[in-house]
Amino acid sequence: YLSTEQKMKNFALAGVLMGFCTWVWWYSMNAVGRADKTTDDGSDPLETLRAEAQEAKNRKKKSVSEEEAEELAQLDIGVNEKDLLGDDVTLAVAAPDDVAQQEEDRNKAALKKGSSRPLWKKIVLFWKKE
């Protein structure tokens, strides 16, 4: 059971919290209601918001096209170890023979440098030597 003093403190706290929530609601409604009016400098806040939203959409479209370009670039990087394991592997490079040979040598050298352990084992079992 609560004493009368404790009940009064609870009611006072409830009143303060309700007052705060009401003030936040009132302030929010007034701030939204002002969006159709111009500000002191003569600009329309709603129009500014729309322009910023359109700019963000344009940036997102641009970033999607950039992601596609990066994905295509990743596909064009070279071959991996699985590709070189087969005997009947044919690589087609749209470059002169000397450049194609350099690329092939670079790919093979990169595969020889790597270890046989997967990356996750290197991270999880970092204290073990290869």
Residue 111 · residue 77 · CB < 8 Å: no
State yes or no: pLDDT of 59 exceeds 60.
yes
Structure tokens at 113: 């440098």
Please give the residue that has the higher pLDDT: either 91 or 27.
27
State yes or no: pLDDT of 48 exceeds 80.
yes
State yes or no: pLDDT of 93 exceeds 60.
no
Q: Kindly tell me the burial class for residue 104, based on how many C-beta atoms sit within 10 Å of its own C-beta (0-12, 13-18, 19 or more).
A: middle
In degrees, to the nearest 5, what angle opens at C-alpha 68 toward C-alphas 90 and 118? 60
Spatial distance between the Cα atoms of 104 and 130, rounded to a whole number of angstroms: 27
Q: Kindly tell me the burial class for residue 47, based on how many C-beta atoms sit within 10 Å of its own C-beta (0-12, 13-18, 19 or more).
A: exposed
Q: Kindly tell me the burial class for residue 79, based on how many C-beta atoms sit within 10 Å of its own C-beta (0-12, 13-18, 19 or more).
A: middle
State yes or no: pLDDT of 21 exceeds 90.
yes
Please give the residue that has the higher pLDDT: either 48 or 88.
48
Give the predicted TM-score (pTM) of the model. Answer: 0.28
Q: What is the pLDDT of residue 33?
A: 62
Q: Please state which of the ranges 6-15, 17-26, 78-87, 88-97 shows the lowest mean pLDDT.
A: 78-87
State yes or no: pLDDT of 105 exceeds 90.
no
Confidence of residue 19 (pLDDT cuts 50, 70, 90): very high
Unique residue bearing structure tokens 């009368």: 4
